[in-house]
Amino acid sequence: MSEKIKYHKMNGAGNEFIIIDNSEIGFAYTPDIVASICSNSPDTSCDQLITIQKRVGQCLDLNIWNKDGSKAEACGNASRCVAKLFFDETGLAHVELRSKNCIHLCKRMDNGGVIVNMGKANTERKNIPISIDVDDTLNFNYNFEFKDLEVVKYTSVINVGNPHIIFWFDSINSIKPEVIGPLVENHKIFPEKINVSFAEIVDRNNVKLAVWERGAGITKACGTAACATAYSAMKLGLASNNLNISLPGGILEINIDPEGNIHKTGPVELEYSSSITMEENR
């Protein structure tokens, strides 16, 4: 059985998404179908596929698929893109987005942008998770025995809806995320794999970041990585609670409020809308 399905191609700071409202169609996506959509056509090439599974008023339930067909628990840039679509379609200014592990509260800004309350970071070992005993996840002392990590100054492991490891360097200019990223992502101490960030402090309010995303590889931006990096920087005393995170695709602005909630904003773009015909086995 074939279905012609409308999609929106969007990006948040260069982080690319295909967004599909599946709330009425109920198409049965599988890892193979997702991987084919994300990788086999230039029109639908993306880092992640986002399906809206349910709509109730100003609350949307999402499935977040990585381009390799695996599922992700959360995606901050995708939340801004979905919220932007919702605001433009409805004229409303607030929406609650629910995914596997988290709730993102999104608000339309006066300039037409979107700010997302990403919730609080979690640093408990069992919630990241890590398979070894760890005394301190914010200053994570583990020898990965990879050459490029010999010059790491600090390492943090944090969950912000999905798991992240952040390596802090004096400079990331010579670091090759495409080499180190997959080795760390698939390391034996991370039973659910992990997103890998390479960070550099510019000053108290600015950070440079490169990211290897679990299930997606190199991306131009990663919203949850920016949030985890900002939290690590603040807790380690490297930076303030207001940070500009500079990624290859643009700048994400992160604020951590006194209660520990992480707020994120940045550029959002609707590139185009189109449709794709897909075959479904019922």
Task: Return the active site residues.
Answer: 75, 222
Q: What is the DSSP letter of 187?
A: -
Per DSSP, the chain holds a count of helices (H) and strands (E) of 4, 17
- Given a contact cutoff of 8 angstroms between Cβ atoms, the answer to whether 74 and 162 are in contact is yes
Residue type at 9 in one-letter notation: K
Instruction: Give the CA count within 13 Å in the CB-facing half-sphere of 213.
Output: 30
Cis, bond preceding 129 (omega within 30 deg of 0): yes
Rounded to 5°, the CA angle 226-140-263 comes to 25
Residues 5 and 22: their CA atoms lie apart, in Å, by 9
> What whole-number distance in Å separates Cα of residue 50 and Cα of residue 76?
12
What radius of gyration, in Å, describes the C-alpha atoms of the chain?
A: 18
In angstroms, the CA 196 to CA 225 distance is 8
